[in-house]
Chain A
Amino acid sequence: MTILSAHIELTGGHTFLLPGDLLGGSVRWRLDERLREAAVQLIWFVRGKGGAEDRVVATIPFDAPGSVDDRVFELGLPAGPYSFSGRLFTLSWAVRLILDGAVAAHQDIVLSPTRQPIAVTE
């Protein structure tokens, strides 16, 4: 399967979000062959000295996805963990479009009560 194009668009282009916000958007894709499954995932991921970790927080599967398709989605954001930018590791949030088990598109978002990653103050 070759992905010809895949996009994630967030409603209003808002990527700096508060815990509890409703995150809406749309995804569209174009493939060169039939697709078995498609879904949007909300994830947080950690990168740094402690290694890499990805955690799927929510998944919205799409019924009967076509090889050329577009869908809308809506996700309620959890209370945490907050986006964090430390000296040893960073914690980030993202929305991913998954087509047949592979990541086709990725959109970073920030989740924090200040709409900015929590930073080091010392």
Chain B
Amino acid sequence: MSAVPPARIRSRKAVRFAGFSAVLMIALVWNAAVLRVVHSVLLSGGPWDLVDWSVFLVVLPFALAGLALIGLAIYLGVPLLNPRVTIEIDPPVAVLGEPIDVSWQFDGAVARIPRLIVRLEGREEVLAPKHTGRGPAMIAERRVFRRIGVIQSSSAEEISRGSTTLRIPRDSMPSFSGRGSRVAWYVCLYGGSDRWPHVRQELEFVVRPLPLLT
């Protein structure tokens, strides 16, 4: 093991919950307002043959938008029930051709994850032109240039906790950071099924070139 502590990342449930709560609140307020209009204008205005259909046509897009907001709240809310995952890389800075240990651990309802894929991805990335150098760079476009399969499992025991040792090939591209372009490496973890929203977590790590022979 190296003296430097391993790199680690954990699913951020708090941030996801904040997004879900915000959308849910907007959906509730929006739909309450639309229902009030529908009730007062369409339903309490008399028999259906007296309904002003032009008002109905005006209200319809707002009602559809309200349904879309409810759908979005469900889409954001269901993954909150997923288990959280922690990924760890040791050493946190890899060197081409040298071994690194990757480990993962799920907390929560692991039974919801029937399949797990863990792999390394080397990506070329283009940064947004207005990036000032303060805070994380905004990535405008990315392409995977190398994918290294680590593990693919449907065993509950292996899914809930596991580790593996791997090497990035010596003929691959190390991390690179330019003004508008970069090469970055990630450990990517995907878990899920066709019916349940996927668990996705990534951890970027630095890959150094081969050391020079002295």
Q: Which residues from 83 to 98 on chain A have a C-beta closer than 8 Å to any C-beta of chain B?
A: 84, 86-89, 91
Please tell me if the beta carbons of A91 and B209 are within 8 angstroms of each other in the complex: no
User: Per a CB cutoff under 8 Å, which of B174, B179, B211, B212 touches A50?
Assistant: B179
Residues in A with CB closer than 8 Å to B172 are: 118
Range, interface on chain B: 20 to 34
Task: Name which of B124, B147, B181, B209 has the most chain A CB atoms within 10 A of its CB.
Answer: B181
User: Per a CB cutoff under 8 Å, which of A51, A81, A88 touches B209?
Assistant: A81
Q: Does B144 contact A (CB under 8 A)?
A: yes
Given A86-B124, A88-B126, A118-B171, decide whether A53 and B143 contact each other with a Cβ distance below 8 A: no
Given A19-B209, A53-B179, A53-B181, decide whether A87 and B173 contact each other with a Cβ distance below 8 A: no
Q: Does B125 contact A (CB under 8 A)?
A: yes
Please tell me if the beta carbons of A49 and B145 are within 8 angstroms of each other in the complex: no
Q: Does B49 contact A (CB under 8 A)?
A: no
Please tell me if the beta carbons of B126 and A79 are within 8 angstroms of each other in the complex: no
Residues in B with CB closer than 8 Å to A87 are: 124, 143, 145
User: Per a CB cutoff under 8 Å, which of A20, A48, A79, A82 touches B181?
Assistant: A48
Task: Name which of A78, A114, A121 has the most chain B CB atoms within 10 A of its CB.
Answer: A121
The answer for the CA separation of A50 and B179 in the assembled complex, in Å, is 8
The answer for the CA separation of A115 and B141 in the assembled complex, in Å, is 28
Residues in B with CB closer than 8 Å to A91 are: 176, 178, 181
Please tell me if the beta carbons of B171 and A84 are within 8 angstroms of each other in the complex: no
Please tell me if the beta carbons of A122 and B209 are within 8 angstroms of each other in the complex: no
Please tell me if the beta carbons of B170 and A48 are within 8 angstroms of each other in the complex: no
Please tell me if the beta carbons of A86 and B143 are within 8 angstroms of each other in the complex: yes
Q: Does B146 contact A (CB under 8 A)?
A: yes
Q: Does B213 contact A (CB under 8 A)?
A: yes
Please tell me if the beta carbons of A51 and B179 are within 8 angstroms of each other in the complex: yes
Q: Does A23 contact B (CB under 8 A)?
A: no
Q: Which residues from 195 to 214 on chain B have a C-beta closer than 8 Å to any C-beta of chain A?
A: 208-213
Q: Does A120 contact B (CB under 8 A)?
A: yes
Please tell me if the beta carbons of B145 and A122 are within 8 angstroms of each other in the complex: yes
Which residues from chain B sit less than 8 Å from chain A, CB to CB? Answer: 96, 124-127, 129, 140-147, 170-174, 176, 178-181, 183, 208-213
Which residues from chain A sit less than 8 Å from chain B, CB to CB? Answer: 19-20, 46, 48-51, 53, 55, 78-82, 84, 86-89, 91, 113-114, 118-122
Show 11 residue pairs from A and B whose CB-CB distance is below 8 angstroms, ordered by the A residue.
A19-B209, A19-B210, A20-B213, A49-B181, A53-B178, A80-B209, A81-B176, A82-B174, A84-B183, A87-B143, A120-B145
For the complex of A and B, list the 5 residue pairs with the smallest distance between their C-beta atoms, beginning with the closest: A50-B180, A50-B181, A80-B209, A20-B212, A50-B126
